[in-house]
Amino acid sequence: MTVPSPSSSSKGEEVQRLFDTVPGYYDRMNRLMTLGRHQAWCRDVARRAQVPAGGALLDIATGTGVIALEAARRYPDAAVHGVDFSEGMLAGARTKPGADAVTWQFADANALPFDDGTFDAVTHGYLLRNVEDAERVLAEQLRVLRPGGRLVILETCPPRGLLRRPVTLGVKVVVPLLGQLVARDRTSYTYLEESTLGFMSPEQVGEILRRLGFVSVAWDRRFLGTHMIVTAQKP
């Protein structure tokens, strides 16, 4: 999700308030910033979740519900839950075609309102860069997963290698400019540029996952190294 940078003293409350302002242009901006690849990545996240017949999937920070809706289409006999702590984003998700197949719910990623071992898969897109304590949030996801359950993460990450400098320059210029032209919200998309370039690498996310007890940790980089899909499993 893409919001203006909040103050460190009240990050959760500020992020929540700011998310409520973006649903109207959120999907369009994601399409533009990824040159139309965002939907395909969300389909890939749903595919990698590998929900068994009659199973259950939790999509955290569901936003406008792109991943949750893809999961509901792929696993029509599964129970799909989409949770977010922005009522504005949830309201947008509930209006989309197929929304009746998903259970939408207000929830905080730091303290999920579900019992231990409830879900066969947990997914999320662009969650970790917007929380204060990524390790705590990932530990909650481990808790609600069943043994053998899968975690699939879509996130931004800083580019590397020979393309690092030109891609970094492009992100710094293009993302805030698109925010100004399309959303009339340069501040929010300046924050996206900063969080994309300043977030953890796949290796760092993988280290946290292994430390928490996840196994089979793997990742792919996408879009000139600025995005990653990370998978892991609960033993």
Residues 6+ apart with CB under 8 A from 40: none
CA distance 53 to 28: 33
Q: What angle do CA 39, 43, 47 make, to 5 degrees?
A: 170
Phi and psi at residue 197, in whole multiples of 5°? Answer: -75, -25
108 annotated as ligand-binding: yes
CA distance 231 to 151: 6
120 annotated as ligand-binding: no
93 annotated as ligand-binding: no
Q: How would you list the strands of the sheet with 56-60, edge to edge? A: 102-106, 79-84, 56-60, 119-125, 145-156, 227-233, 215-222
Locus of tokens 């460190």: 8
64 annotated as ligand-binding: yes
Please state the residue numbers annotated as binding site: 64, 84, 108-109
Annotated binding site for S-adenosyl-L-methionine: 64, 84, 108-109
